[in-house]
Amino acid sequence: MKLTGNRTTDSVGSIQPIRKQPDADVPSSCACRGGSGMETKPELQRVLESRKRDQLIRQRKQEEEARRKISPLEAELLKRHMKLEELERQQEQQQEENLRAPEFVKVRENLRRTSFHADEKEV
Number of domains in the chain: 1
Say if 5 falls within a structural domain: no
For the chain, the average pLDDT equals: 77
What pLDDT score does 120 carry? 63
Give residue 13's region: left, alpha or beta (phi > 0; psi -120 to 50): left
Report phi then psi at 102, rounded to 5: -65, 165
Q: Could you report the per-residue pLDDT of 31-89, keeping only the tens digit for each?
A: 555 555 456 789 999 999 999 999 999 999 999 888 888 888 888 999 999 999 999 99
The CA R_g of the chain, rounded to the nearest whole Å, is 45
pTM: 0.33
Say if 80 falls within a structural domain: yes
Say if 6 falls within a structural domain: no
Say if 25 falls within a structural domain: no
User: What's the domain range around 80?
Assistant: 44-114
